[in-house]
Amino acid sequence: GQQLNQSPQSMFIQEGEDVSMNCTSSSIFNTWLWYKQDPGEGPVLLIALYKAGELTSNGRLTAQFGITRKDSFLNISASIPSDVGIYFCAGQGKNRDDKIIFGKGTRLHILP
Amino acid sequence: NAGVMQNPRHLVRRRGQEARLRCSPMKGHSHVYWYRQLPEEGLKFMVYLQKENIIDESGMPKERFSAEFPKEGPSILRIQQVVRGDSAAYFCASSPNQVSSYEQYFGPGTRLTVT
């Protein structure tokens, strides 16, 4: 079945630093999604990508849909304390019935 | 404009008891998805339902687990005869329709602890 490899598993950064995380798939996806999950809460959709090569921003967040359709990355610029949380990538295959597959998440920690 | 609601937020059950988890989708959403999340893991798809129909239950264990989304009322995920391995966070998500199934809005989750 389809699998997503998300890296890194965790990151420890200083406030103000930029962050980059990525996701690779064993097969092609038609849609890439990035979610953030705060402790004790459900995931919140940050960015959705629908076309290969697409680059989309949401405030300090930027995500790209890889040209091969097998990867995506998320950048966060000038990190702030509220960026702490778990970031999940997710992908959906080419059929509308395909379920969304989630990566295992990147845990972002910001050092004081 | 209420979001996806789940209750209870926390549920403790002893081994062998039944667990019932409820999910009320966002207003106007007719598609519901249930996911399970183990500690340090991503979300694993369990089941996809529309009103009165199970569309895809390929991620749900064949035994002890069932789900429904009746014409009236919330969607229910039912786990019979719970075991310790069922301890996890269970999330429900809803979407307006299948075409935009990637636009899934998640509830806050139910954290099930089996003692």
pLDDT digits (tens, 9 = 90+) for B40-58: 788 999 999 998 999 999 9
Q: Phi, psi (5° rounding) for residue A82?
A: -75, -5
Q: Is the pLDDT of residue B1 over 60?
A: no
Cβ(A31)–Cβ(A45) under 8 Å?
no
B104 pLDDT tier (thresholds 50, 70, 90): confident
Mean pLDDT by 10 residues, chain A (112 residues): 86 96 92 92 92 94 95 97 95 77 93 84
Identify the closest residue of chain B to A45 by CA–CA distance.
B105
Q: Is the peptide bond before A8 cis (omega within 30 degrees of 0)?
A: yes
Calculate how close chain A gets to B72, using CA atoms only, in Å.
24
Asked if B104 and A100 come within 8 Å (Cβ–Cβ), the reply is yes
Q: B105 at the A interface (CB within 8 A)?
A: yes
pLDDT of residue B39: 82
Minimum CA–CA partner of B38 in chain A: A104
How far is Cα of residue B84 from the mean position of the Cα atoms in its chain? 18
pLDDT tens for residues B47-87?
Answer: 999 989 999 999 999 999 999 999 999 999 999 999 999 99
Q: What is the DSSP letter of A83?
A: G
pLDDT of residue A55: 95
CA distance A2 to chain B (A): 12
Query: In terms of DSSP bridges, do strands B31-37 and B19-24 run parallel, antiparallel, or are they unpaired?
Result: unpaired
* Nearest residue, CB atoms, B42 vs list A44, A48, A102: A102
pLDDT mean across residues, chain B:
92
